[in-house]
Amino acid sequence: MPGSKLEVDGRHITVTNLEKVMYPEAGTRKFDVIQYVIEIADTMLPHVASRPITRKRWPHGTGSGPFFEKALPPGTPDWLARFTIEHSESKTVYPVARSAADLVWLAQMAALELHVPQWRIDLSGIGSAGDESRRTDRLVIDLDPGPDVSLHRCAEVAIAIRDVLADAGLPSFPVTSGGKGIHVYARFPKPVKCESARAVAKQIATSLAAAHPTEVTATMAKAARQSKVFLDWSQNTAAKTTLAPYSLRGREHPWVAAPRTWDELADPTIAQLDYRDVLERHRESGDLLADLDPPVVPIASAPVDLGEYRKSKSSRLRSSPPKPVGPTVVTGGSRGPRPMLAADELIDGLTDDAWAFEGKWDGYRILARHTDGDVSLSSRSGIDMTADFPELRELGTVLRGFDVLLDGEMVALDATGRTDFTLLASRHHRDEEFTLRYMVFDVLELNGTDLTSAPWEQRRAVLDELTPVITAASIADVPPLLPGPGAAAAEHAREQGWEGVVAKRRTSTYQYGRRSADWRKHKNWNDIEVVVGGFRPGRGSRSGSIGSLLIGLPTDTGLRYIGRVGTGFTDADLDALHEELKPLIIGRSPFIGSLDKPVASSATWVLPKIVADVRFMDWTSTGHLRHPSWRGVRRDKLPGDL
């Protein structure tokens, strides 16, 4: 299939084979890898910038062999920065990352692992000079546990390293490596030569090995590492590299070199994290290594636009006409806002004077941007949904004269006026009457003015002024606030048959992509977002179609099976799902662990890429859903968002 164009920071990158499965055991595609890099790029850049990058590439996925690559290959774009290093008999030209576009191009080349030295070009001022001139402002010790040593024991040694560094006045930062061990970084107050950093690291390693000879070794010989944690101090040598923070690992699962907190390292259950965990943590906490390296000033700030990157693929997967264009990914950070999210917190004791109460709508969260008559839509996870809801083009007519970014929820109202997610998700093949409505509840930008730093009360006042304009579109509504306090608002929502209530602190600012306790959600029933990992054949009237779907939840170690759902479908739903799942069929279970034989023996397994919404009563003692009922596919989300 010919490549598609991806625009990142004003650079045009040809991306290919986006449906290729890069991690066969996890079902992670090249698309998922590139999406991860796009979202994490701004945070990763300070930790790789101004450093020559050695790549470890898996062109055919981690099920086949990789190769290390130092020199840039033919066809490298002219805009990618280069740095030449003189070796004993040759010169090697390395890439140097300065922007998100550089990192995305490397991901397109299937460079899952990025390895960098600790020294920086901008500190050394050396062009292509030799190792003796390299200077660094950070140190790393790589903790490599022996084959019978747990990550928790490794973490205990890392904490001992932290204490030694603290005594020396050096702040330190732990990173679980995405492999077996941990990297501990430290920041020097001023740049030093690499040999000096190496000497400091060696002194720490050898002193700890002497103090704990049965648990720690600083000796490189593998025979000395049995039942011990090896402290590799040599990676501070100018000629050596370390897997960069936030880099993926080329293992059976898409683990990441993930920054952690010291409190986490004290937890006996500490485990490696995959890219989905890292993205979720990043949305919550930002960069835990922000104090390790200086920030990078972007060379451009153009938006990321994946364009119609998989139009031909998604046109086969969509269930029925009209078939919407495949999703476009718009990232968080400075290149594509993601909506602020509410925390699961009690609202009963909240009062009207400090909090405002809104209905919680049962639909797709949508950011709608209007500029010069054009309307674009993006979901909570950054998927472009403009083509999914052409009805919202009507906003372009009523909002002329206003360049605005709105936050709201796209819902389907049934014949009684209640929101119904099942109708929304399956609207293309349902005969029931329903009405689409865009429920607007916030305004984030207006005519070039960013309103996110203003308190909620001021933003609501602006929205109230815009309400007559917005609601001139038949598709849009601005719902009124609910009377408080929190308990009364929740009762009102129950009486109306709504999904729940969102309480917003009146003084709260809008925090793109973050889940904040300044917004709190109360739900009136149990819903859960799941990933489809397989199906069982139907019988009787369902013969030749799907009998039930096998569903799971992503965890640190893979997809955990939580049961099967066989109710809540219409025949049209089942037919559409069957067609959508056929291209995803694989030969082995995507779930970790084993399933009951009666289930597994008749199951058809699929790549875990479809996210769905299920309603259920409660959990069984075995960790399965009790009485689950199907609600619909979440077209606005990807598995990595759960």
- What are the pLDDT digits (tens) for 519-529? 999 887 778 99
Residues 6+ apart with CB under 8 A from 291: 171, 173, 187
* Domain co-membership, 480 together with 375: yes
pLDDT of residue 617: 60
Q: How confident is the model at residue 367 (pLDDT cuts 50, 70, 90)?
A: very high
More confident residue, 394 or 526: 394
pLDDT of residue 132: 61
| CATH (domain of 363) | 3.30.470.30
* Torsion sign across C-alpha atoms 169, 48, 278, 383: positive
DSSP SS3 for 44: helix
Q: Which of 30, 56, 228, 360 is catalytic?
A: 360
* Domain co-membership, 616 together with 574: yes
Cα dist from 433 to 429, 436, 473, whole Å: 12, 10, 20
pLDDT of residue 331: 34
Residues 6+ apart with CB under 8 A from 527: 499, 613, 614, 615, 616, 631
* Domain co-membership, 513 together with 580: no
More confident residue, 110 or 190: 110
Mean pLDDT, rounded, of the chain: 85
* Domain co-membership, 538 together with 415: no
pLDDT mean over 42-59? 94
Residues 6+ apart with CB under 8 A from 115: 53, 54, 55, 56, 241, 242, 243, 244, 247
pLDDT mean over 410-418? 86
pLDDT mean over 469-474? 93
Measured between alpha carbons, how far is 361 from 502 in angstroms, rounded to an integer? 9
* Domain co-membership, 466 together with 322: yes
360 given a catalytic annotation = yes
Q: Give the end of a domain, one of 519, 545, 562.
A: 519
Range of the domain at 387: 311-519
Residue 562 lies in a domain: yes
Q: How far apart are the first and last CA of the chain?
A: 30
Q: Is pLDDT of 463 > 90? A: yes
Residues 6+ apart with CB under 8 A from 360: 493, 498, 499, 500, 501, 502, 521, 522, 523
Residue 176 lies in a domain: no
Q: Is pLDDT of 495 > 80? A: yes
* Domain co-membership, 542 together with 634: yes
Secondary structure (H, E, C), 502-570:
EEEECCCCCCCCCEEEEEEEEECCCEEEEEEEEEEEECHHHECCEEEEEEEEEECCEEEEEEEECCCCC
Residues 6+ apart with CB under 8 A from 552: 530, 531, 533, 559, 560, 561, 562, 590, 591, 608
* Domain co-membership, 420 together with 508: yes
Nearest 5°: the CA angle 517, 523, 524 is 155
Contact of 119 with 194, CB cutoff 8 Å: yes
Residue 125, token pair as written in the block: 């001022």
pLDDT of residue 318: 31
| CATH (domain of 623) | 2.40.50.140
Tell the burial category of 537 from Cβ atoms under 10 Å away from its Cβ (0-12, 13-18, 19+): middle
Residue 268 lies in a domain: no
Residue 2, token pair as written in the block: 């010919």
Which amino acid makes up residue 482? Answer: L
Residue 202 lies in a domain: no
Residue 324 lies in a domain: yes
Q: pLDDT per residue over 285-332, tens digit each?
A: 889 999 999 887 544 333 333 323 223 223 322 332 222 222 323 333
pLDDT of residue 621: 64
* Domain co-membership, 368 together with 511: yes
* Domain co-membership, 501 together with 570: no
| pTM of the predicted protein model | 0.51
* Domain co-membership, 559 together with 503: no
Query: How far, in whole angstroms, is CA 94 from its chain's centroid?
Result: 28
Q: Give the end of a domain, one of 485, 519, 553.
A: 519
pLDDT of residue 124: 55
* Domain co-membership, 496 together with 560: no
Residue 510 lies in a domain: yes
pLDDT > 90 fraction of the chain, expressed in percent and rounded: 56
pLDDT of residue 428: 65
Q: pLDDT per residue over 346-355, tens digit each?
A: 898 899 889 9
Number of domains in the chain: 2
Q: Give the end of a domain, one of 500, 519, 538.
A: 519
Residue 198 lies in a domain: no
Cα dist from 264 to 249, 258, 496, 638, whole Å: 21, 12, 43, 27
Range among 120-134, 178-192, 531-545, 557-571 rated most confident:
178-192
Residue 68 lies in a domain: no
* Domain co-membership, 455 together with 364: yes
